[in-house]
Chains A and B, each alone.
Chain A
Amino acid sequence: MGIHQKIIGLFLIASTLAYGQEKACFFQPSLLRASATIAPTRFYMQETTVALIHGFMEYVLEPKISVRGEANFMAPNGLLLFTNSPEKFPRNYASIYAGFGYHLGKKNWKINLHAEPGMVLAEMAQDPYVNVPSRFKWSACPSYLLKAGTSYYFSKYCHFFAEINFSNGWIRKTPLSSVSLAQYGISAGLGFHLMTKKHHE
């Protein structure tokens, strides 16, 4: 069997599955979903783009309301496009957020809105031009995250998601002016979910 026949065969199987599950609604209260992905993020005040390792977990409390936690870590060698000024950008960066989500739309295709307060942990050079090597210090910085996205629940255990986010905060523990963490980023991919309680229809 050639590659074309295999691809067509896969599409046929996928379309059959989609048709068979057309009436099932996978997004319901007690749904627990999670995923991890690489999220390109632009720190536009620092003119720096970073690949963040992004993971989230979300639990649906009500038909429109969910609670969600997420974390971002700067990937090793994750500075994709960056400034060479060490006083402008942290050497290490991680953030954690927890908040609520609001879900619009019917059945399995949802528009998601999230607002999440959180913390950024960042390691900044303290005297980049005085001592070599420079001293570094970690600091905890208040931050918030706003997110909009869409999700399509195509099977009992899997969904696709695509999100755009904005977050902001300030690293104050620096030798010079505080460093803005204003950023926007995207994340998308395959997510996994399961229903934690039985629903009687």
Chain B
Amino acid sequence: MKPIFLLLLFFFALQVNAQDQRTFNPAGMLSLGGRTTVSLFNDHKNEMTGTGVGGQFRLRFSDAVNTDWFFDYITSDILNYAHRTDSHIGWSVLFYPINSFDYFRQTAQFKPKFRPYILAGHCFDYSKIEAKDGTNALDGALYAERWSSAVQAGLGTHLELSPKFDISLTGQYMIHLGNHIETDYDFTSNTLSFHEHKGASLAGHLLVTLSFNYKIARLWGFTKR
């Protein structure tokens, strides 16, 4: 146990030393932004493309690792007999495989550039499916809802338009882990019914997100002049 602890301490000391000699370090950078999301290829039967709005803040931990903390509100149609509302609150880790520091060092005029990333994360999800006509004469309000958890992974890129401002485009697949609500619509009698399936199901959707982010503060670390 003791050698492992000493080894970890050694690596930690190396890392601190490496960061000490660097003039610029983006760790601790906090960004705030807004986002719009399109939900595609939904697993739910007859569900159509959804559109959403949300917000996020981004906290950078090191040169290569950033994190997104987001909220999304997405609505979609299930043909013309029901509509679905999804609220996502979660986080993603962004890893930059091409990790050049140029723009922090840049002394000449800033040039916009792309910074691609791989992301993976987790979120909590609230879904509600409502009948289009809202009520059923016998049963009252006609809807079903569920809370679930989800994991997501994908690819994206920032377009850095200034040292503090970027536009980010992300494509990620989100898999919901939890109960599954199924809608059944009888087109001959025009009746809608809900069935809830217990246990994990791997229903998911592809989310394409466009976000706008501005760096507002540095929570730790500093820049040597």
Q: A residues engaging B (CB < 8 A)?
A: 61-62, 64-65, 67, 98-100, 102, 115-119, 126-127, 137, 140-144, 168-170, 172-178
**Contact indicator B34/A98 (Cβ below 8 Å):** yes
Cα distance A130–B134 in the bound complex, in angstroms: 14
**Contact indicator B77/A172 (Cβ below 8 Å):** yes
When distances are taken between beta carbons in the complex, the residues of chain A under 8 Å from B165 are 61-62, 65, 100
What 1/0 flags go to B132-172 for Cβ under 8 Å of A?
Answer: 11100000000000000000000000000110110100000
When distances are taken between beta carbons in the complex, the residues of chain B under 8 Å from A168 are 51
**Contact indicator B214/A177 (Cβ below 8 Å):** no
**Contact indicator A176/B53 (Cβ below 8 Å):** no
When distances are taken between beta carbons in the complex, the residues of chain B under 8 Å from A126 are 133-134
**Contact indicator B53/A62 (Cβ below 8 Å):** no
Q: Which of B76, B161, B210 contacts A64 (CB 8 A)?
A: B161
Residue B29 CB within 8 A of the other chain: no
Residue B36 CB within 8 A of the other chain: yes
**Contact indicator A170/B214 (Cβ below 8 Å):** no
Cα distance A64–B111 in the bound complex, in angstroms: 13
Residue among A99, A119, A142 with max Cβ neighbours from chain B (10 Å): A142
Residue among B74, B75, B76 with max Cβ neighbours from chain A (10 Å): B75
Task: State the main secondary structure of chain A at its contact with B.
Answer: strand
Q: Which of A62, A99, A118, A141 contacts B162 (CB 8 A)?
A: A62
When distances are taken between beta carbons in the complex, the residues of chain A under 8 Å from B162 are 62, 64-65
Task: State the main secondary structure of chain B at its contact with A.
Answer: strand
**Contact indicator A100/B75 (Cβ below 8 Å):** no
Q: B residues engaging A (CB < 8 A)?
A: 34-36, 51-54, 73-77, 80, 83, 85, 130, 132-134, 161-162, 164-165, 167, 210, 212, 214
Cα distance A117–B72 in the bound complex, in angstroms: 11
Cα distance A61–B214 in the bound complex, in angstroms: 9
Instruction: With CB as the reference atom, state the residue of chain A lying closest to B79.
Output: A177
Cα distance A140–B52 in the bound complex, in angstroms: 11
Q: Which of B73, B75, B133 contacts A175 (CB 8 A)?
A: B133
When distances are taken between beta carbons in the complex, the residues of chain A under 8 Å from B51 are 142-144, 168-170
Cα distance A141–B134 in the bound complex, in angstroms: 17
Q: Which of B53, B130, B132, B167 contacts A142 (CB 8 A)?
A: B53
When distances are taken between beta carbons in the complex, the residues of chain B under 8 Å from A172 are 75-77, 83, 85
Q: How far is the CB of A111 from chain B (nearest CB, A)?
A: 15
**Contact indicator A174/B132 (Cβ below 8 Å):** yes
When distances are taken between beta carbons in the complex, the residues of chain B under 8 Å from A100 are 34, 165, 212, 214
Residue among A127, A169, A178 with max Cβ neighbours from chain B (10 Å): A178
Cα distance A62–B215 in the bound complex, in angstroms: 12
Q: How far is the CB of B83 from chain A (nearest CB, A)?
A: 4
**Contact indicator A176/B161 (Cβ below 8 Å):** no
Instruction: Decide yes or no: A117 and B35 within 8 Å by CB, A65-B161, A100-B212, A175-B133 being known contacts.
Output: yes
Instruction: Decide yes or no: A102 and B133 within 8 Å by CB, A117-B35, A143-B53, A144-B53 being known contacts.
Output: no
